[in-house]
Amino acid sequence: MRKLALLAVSFGLVAVLLTGAAAATLTAPAAAGGLSRDADVPAELVAIIEAAAGAYCDLRPALLAAVLKAESDFGHSPLPGVRSGTNDAGAAGPMQIGIGGKAGNTWGGTPIRAVPPDIPYGADGNGDAIASVYDPADALHGAARYLCALGGGDEATLVIAVASYHCGPTCGHGDPAAWGPRTRSYVTKVLAAARSYEAGLSGPVTAIPPGFGTPGPCGRSPSTDYARWLVLQTFGQLTIGDCAHRGHVENSDHYPDANGQAHALDIMVGSHKPLGDRIASWLTQHHQALNVKQIIWYGQVIDYRDANPAWHACRDPNSSCARNHFGHVHVGFRL
């Protein structure tokens, strides 16, 4: 509820700045979820957008998709800089990220370069060890990192983040009354598109309601049971493994604790990687409410016990993390 209230305040701020029909479009989108499959987002970009949005903060996939739409019509724009070179301000790629000139070098380094390092926002989104501002996966991950740094993951600063992406941090974080007409139009367009792209898969994920958790000797902890119920409600009937007495690595969260309850789920997706991407992104977005400790999927892991949690490749190529999580999403819980 707090997020929805903050979002209403954010949209109210823009409504004060804008008048007429444009302002009337700025109503709060549905609860944060994935992308609507009825939207005009190209199918091949849906999983990439959802994964990128959840990689660095609680950024709405619909917002990231809306920025992509505004910047280059999902990469289909014939304007200079989208596929090669730059526009007249020095921005490039489908997300029109600055690589020099008036736009500054937000991407960092050359527009196509080896990684690591990801400096400051250029990113390798497809795992080929190259950060290319022209590659959709790389550009989306880079833009997501930048939007998160601007405050796009916090509903209270979401509008400011969108403005800052368009006109720069100094402009966007300054007095909104001083935003120029192009920035106001951009914010209006992006937020309206984000509302239309929101899937509204489920209501807001809140703290664990009473009644969740199943008893031992091999049950599910409250967080585990609640997350299992939400996954089934959100993504449909899936096979989900939970408590076990054997078959997992030593000290696995699948094994029951002193209360006879497991703290892990294996959400089976088989060969359907896009579904696994969406589930992993959804879990990342709601990690706080669900008390998530760790998520492992497709050779990547994020551990919320780290000081600065972020998705990265499993470090030991011979580990269970690297070898055994291609047909299911593993998630462990603190409580």
Average pLDDT for the chain? 85
Indicate the number of domains in the chain.
Answer: 2
Q: 138 and 87 share a domain?
A: yes
Residues 175 and 224 in one domain: no
Asked if 248 and 193 sit in the same domain, the reply is no
Q: Are residues 141 and 39 in the same domain?
A: yes
Stronger pLDDT, 245 or 147, i.e. the higher one: 147
Give the Cβ contact number of residue 292 at 10 Å: 21
Contact status, residue 143 vs residue 97, Cβ threshold 8 Å: yes
Both structure tokens of 77: 């724009």
Last residue of a domain, one of 197, 228, 244: 197
Region 319-327: mean pLDDT is: 93
**Is residue 205 situated within a structural domain?**
no
Task: Based on the fold, state whether residues 192 and 223 are members of the same structural domain.
Answer: no
Does any domain span residue 98?
A: yes
Same structural domain, 184 and 49 = yes
- Provide the pLDDT for residue 156: 84
Q: Which residues are 131's β-sheet partners? A: 113
Pair (153, 15) in one structural domain: yes
The model's pLDDT over 181-235, given as tens digits with 9 standing for 90+, comes to: 999 989 988 988 887 787 654 455 777 888 889 999 999 999 999 999 888 878 7
Other C-beta atoms closer than 10 Å to the C-beta of 269 total: 22
Crossing angle (nearest 10°) for helices 158-167 and 181-197: 130
Confidence of residue 1 (pLDDT cuts 50, 70, 90): very low
Rounded to an integer, the average pLDDT of 52-57 is 90
Percent of the chain with pLDDT over 70: 87
| Beta strands at 130-132 and 91-92: parallel, antiparallel or unpaired | unpaired
Please check whether residues 123 and 253 belong to one and the same domain. Answer: no
What angle do helix axes 158-167 and 2-17 make, rounded to 10 degrees? 50
pLDDT at 22: 33
- Both 86 and 166 in one domain: the answer is yes
Closest C-alpha among 121, 134, 147 to residue 61: 147
Mark which of 197, 230, 260 sits at the end of a domain: 197
SS3 assignment for the chain: CHHHHHHHHHHHHHHHHCCHHHHHCCCCCCCCCCECCCCCCCHHHHHHHHHHHCCCCCCCHHHHHHHHHHHHCCCCCCCCCCCCCCCCCCEECCCCEECCHHHCCCCCCCCEEECCCCCCCCCCCCCCCEEECCCHHHHHHHHHHHHHHHCCCCCCCHHHHHHHHHHCHHHHCCCHHHCCHHHHHHHHHHHHHHHHHECCCCCCCCCCCCCCCCCCCCEECHHHHHHHHHHHHHHCCCCEECCCCCCCCCCCCCCCCCCCEECEEEEECCCCHHHHHHHHHHHHHCCCCCCEEEEEECCEEEECCCCCCCCEECCCCCCHHHHCCCCEEEEEECC
Please state, in angstroms and rounded to a whole number, the distance separating the CA atoms of residues 138 and 280: 18
Instruction: Decide if 143 is inside a domain.
Output: yes
Q: Are residues 262 and 145 in the same domain?
A: no
Of the residues 145, 165, 197, which one is the last residue of a structural domain?
197
Higher pLDDT, 10 or 72: 72
State pLDDT tens for residues 279-309.
Answer: 999 899 899 999 999 999 999 999 999 999 9
CB count within 10 Å of CB 273 equals: 14
- Domain assignment present for residue 211? The answer is no
**For the segment 101-141, what is each residue's pLDDT rounded down to a tens digit?**
999 999 999 999 999 887 899 999 999 999 999 999 999 99
226 in the same domain as 191 = no
Cα(176)–Cα(153) distance, rounded to whole angstroms? Answer: 19
Confidence of residue 6 (pLDDT cuts 50, 70, 90): very low
**How many Å from the N-terminal Cα to the C-terminal Cα in the chain?**
22
What is the percentage of the chain residues whose pLDDT exceeds 90?
A: 61
Band the pLDDT of 94: cuts 50, 70, 90.
Answer: very high
What's the average model confidence in pLDDT over 10-22? 40
Looking up residue 42, the CATH number of its domain turns out to be 1.10.530
Q: Mind listing the pLDDT tens digit for each residue in 248-270? A: 888 899 999 999 999 999 999 99
Strand partners, 294: 303, 332
Q: Do 191 and 245 sit in the same domain of this protein?
A: no
Is position 175 within any domain?
A: yes
Asked if residue 214 belongs to a domain, the reply is no
pLDDT at residue 316, as a whole number: 93
Nearest CA to 18 out of 165, 191, 181 is that of 181
Residue reference for tokens 């049971």? 225
Is residue 204 in some structural domain? Answer: no
Q: Is the pLDDT assigned to residue 161 strictly greater than 90?
A: yes
Q: Which domain holds residue 305?
A: 219-333
In a domain, 203, yes or no: no
Phi, psi of 68 (to 5 degrees): -60, -40
pLDDT-derived band at 37, boundaries 50, 70, 90: low
